[in-house]
Amino acid sequence: MPFTLPTDPASRPVTVIGAGTLGRRIALMFATRGGSVRVYDPVREAGQAACAYVEEHVAEVAAGIEGGTPGTVSTTTDLAEALAGAWLVVEAVPERLDLKKQIFADLDKAADADAILASNSSSYPTSAFIDHVAHPERVLNMHFYMPPAQSAVDLMSSGHTDRAVLDLLLGELPHYGVFPFEARRESTGFIFNRVWAAIKREALSVVAEGVSTPQDVDAMWMINMGGVAGPFRMMDRVGLDVVLDIENHYAAENPHLPSGPRELLRGYVEAGHLGVKSGRGFYDDYDRAS
């Protein structure tokens, strides 16, 4: 059914659900247009850390965006307070389907009637968790990579998303310094992540089989590809627990995928070596994450 689009997005807040590694970076990007961003997290300290991250970086990031102006950020543990008046709500919680189903049911009931509900899920299409959503026409995937350094965004319909929602976001998101690309049909992994999944899985296999080390794979990658970081350093930045969740999801869809990459990741995660956010992952030269 048609959806009544939100009016005047520039004057209304954006709400981010989840204050983790990507949640705080998403909040940072939406704080570059001079408006307000709210971060909801049930753990007060996580929300406070996300706000500190945004406040530290927003002036610098906004300066690099045409028309950018530092905005404000706040945090709350009260979902209704976080959602009030928001034109856009972006979910950025762990990759657990039951959790996402519950959150979207709650958002659909509590958000303003014209609020767009977006998921930053990196491996689940929104069609998988709208069972209890009364208005799926306002729900879609809005998948971020690692802004502000990686500012591409995948947009993908839930299968019920009003076309006008996609068109509005394709026009609005560049004002916040992010660049949307539409997946034209449902795709696990969207566009870039399908390519990236194959690269990181093979890199993990090379190490799991004892052929090489994370450091040597990364060094070769940077020489041959000209990048500033290799696959293992990039996985550390995302969080190895997140990478493992994603790989488990891919394996559930395709049981023929090799198990070695997941076993390698599981060893690090069970040891508490999650990457940048824990101070140690494939590399151990990190300060504890901000």
| CATH number for 229 | 1.10.1040.10
pLDDT of residue 222: 96
Residue 289 lies in a domain: no
Residue 86 lies in a domain: yes
Render 117-171 in DSSP notation, one character per residue. EEE--SS--GGGG-TT-S-GGGEEEEEEEETTTEEEEEEEE-SS--HHHHHHHHH
HSE of 28, CA atoms in CB hemisphere, 13 A? 31
Residue 44 lies in a domain: yes
pLDDT of residue 289: 44
Domain count, the chain: 2
Residue type, 275: G
- Whether residues 177 and 198 share a domain: the answer is no
The number of residues making up the chain comes to 290
- Whether residues 13 and 143 share a domain: the answer is yes
Last residue of a domain, one of 182, 212, 239: 182
- Whether residues 116 and 227 share a domain: the answer is no
Cα separation values, 174 from 60, 62, 168, 171, 183, Å: 17, 12, 11, 7, 17
171 lies in which domain range?
9-182
> How does DSSP classify residue 278?
G
Last residue of a domain, one of 164, 182, 200: 182
- Whether residues 173 and 214 share a domain: the answer is no
Question: What is the domain-level CATH number for residue 63?
Answer: 3.40.50.720
What span, in angstroms and rounded, lies between the C-alpha atoms of 194 and 228?
A: 21
Give the closest residue to 86 by CA, choosing from 37, 120, 23, 130.
37
Q: What predicted TM-score, i.e. pTM, was given to this entire model?
A: 0.81
- Whether residues 145 and 201 share a domain: the answer is no
Give the closest residue to 194 by CA, choosing from 255, 281, 253.
253
Return averaged pLDDT per consecutive 10 residues of the chain, 290 residues in all: 86 96 97 96 97 98 95 98 98 92 97 97 90 96 94 96 97 96 92 92 98 98 93 95 90 92 98 95 78
Give the closest residue to 91 by CA, choosing from 8, 190, 14, 177.
14
Looking only at Cα atoms, what is the longest distance across the chain? 56
What span, in angstroms and rounded, lies between the C-alpha atoms of 283 and 279?
A: 9
Last residue of a domain, one of 182, 204, 238: 182
- Whether residues 175 and 47 share a domain: the answer is yes
- Whether residues 50 and 154 share a domain: the answer is yes
H or E element: which one contains 107? helix 97-110
For 149, other C-beta atoms within 10 Å of its C-beta total 10
- Whether residues 175 and 215 share a domain: the answer is no
Give the closest residue to 183 by CA, choosing from 116, 126, 232, 221.
126
- Whether residues 141 and 261 share a domain: the answer is no
- Whether residues 258 and 126 share a domain: the answer is no
pLDDT of residue 288: 58
- Whether residues 55 and 174 share a domain: the answer is yes
pLDDT of residue 290: 42
